[in-house]
Amino acid sequence: MTDPAAYSALDSKRFGIRVFRAGADNVEAVLELVQFARSADLDLLIVRCPVEAVAAAQSLERAGGILTDTLVYYRGPTSSFAPSPASSTCIRLCQEADRAALEGIARASFTGFFGHYHADPRLDPVAATEGYVQWASSALADPASLVLVSETEGRLSGFLTARRLEAKTWEILLNGVAPEFQRRGIYAALLREIGCRARAQGASQVLVSTQLANLAPQKVWTRAGLELDHALYTFHWWKA
């Protein structure tokens, strides 16, 4: 029989504890998970639960899980994306020479982020931020990922990573704009560019997610014609 949760090497290394991850959409699955977690060699279990599975979420609460975020997924047709109007920001593929600047933007934009790592007071917030930095940086070496950067006034101002999820769908994974360049439409321009590139490569849909509390990207997505598709709660269950 396979374990109901999978060991997360990345999370474990990042926080210096043993972390497992799982999904659960019904009460029986939650009970099985908690029984597994109590007997397994682990410190933290991260569980994603669809928001409509209220009984499963309540069961996680009763077992001692803490709600750490609500992920909202937006989906939309690539046909609604139009190229950016001429502006002072240029969008291009990220190069190896951009790595340090890319990491700097990820670090600045994800410090104190809304995600489940930062929301858990038992996890080191600096290590949580570095997780996003590492995620952005590793995309540069991943042949399946595409990394776009924006350049404004001669400096790298933002980035967006994406990959093909299925034949017709691209998923946008991580986005950030340096704080000093935010609220100038740079993220909207990055999104338009990835939408156009996905369409040019034969994709008809884009999928993207963030935390419910993170309003800025949701504003940009709805303006670009994306719609809320589904949502997941994230719970953290600590053994002791």
Q: What is the DSSP string of the chain?
A: ---SSEE-HHHHHHHTS-EEEEE--SHHHHHHHHHHHHHSS-SEEEEEEETT-HHHHHHHHHTT-EEEEEEEEEEEEGGG--PPPS-SEEEEE--GGGHHHHHHHHHHHHTT-SSHHHH-TTS-HHHHHHHHHHHHHHHHT-TTEEEEEEEETTEEEEEEEEEEEETTEEEEEEEEE-GGGTTSSHHHHHHHHHHHHHHHTT--EEEEEEETT-HHHHHHHHHTT-EEEEEEEEEEEE--
Q: Is 176 in the site for ligand COA (CB under 6 A)?
A: yes
Q: Which of 216, 222, 227, 228 lies at the binding interface for ligand COA (CB under 6 A)? A: 216
Sequence-separated (6 or more) residues with CB below 8 Å from residue 106 = 132, 133, 135, 136, 137, 159, 174, 176
Q: Which is nearer to ligand COA, 42 or 220 (CB)?
A: 220
Q: Is 184 in the site for ligand COA (CB under 6 A)?
A: yes
Q: Is 50 in the site for ligand COA (CB under 6 A)?
A: no
Q: Is 215 in the site for ligand COA (CB under 6 A)?
A: yes
What the block records as the tokens of 178 is 């340096």
Q: Is 217 in the site for ligand COA (CB under 6 A)?
A: yes
Stretches 29-37, 69-77, 88-96, 213-221: which one binds ligand COA (CB under 6 A)? 213-221
Q: Which is nearer to ligand COA, 122 or 223 (CB)?
A: 223
Q: Is 70 in the site for ligand COA (CB under 6 A)?
A: no
Q: Is 187 in the site for ligand COA (CB under 6 A)?
A: yes
Q: Which is nearer to ligand COA, 65 or 195 (CB)?
A: 195
Q: How many whole angstroms separate alpha carbon 56 and alpha carbon 58?
A: 5
Stretches 16-24, 76-84, 162-170, 208-216: which one binds ligand COA (CB under 6 A)? 208-216
For the CB of residue 89, give the shortest distance to ligand COA in the complex, in Å. 9
Q: Is 177 in the site for ligand COA (CB under 6 A)?
A: yes
Binding mask 98-137 for ligand COA (x = CB under 6 A): -----------xx---------------------------
Instruction: Tell which residue, 87, 75, 66, 53, has the closest CA to residue 170.
Output: 75
Q: Is 214 in the site for ligand COA (CB under 6 A)?
A: yes
Q: Which of 56, 119, 148, 186 lies at the binding interface for ligand COA (CB under 6 A)? A: 186
Tell me which residues touch ligand COA (CB under 6 A). Answer: 109-110, 174-177, 182-188, 210, 214-217, 219-220
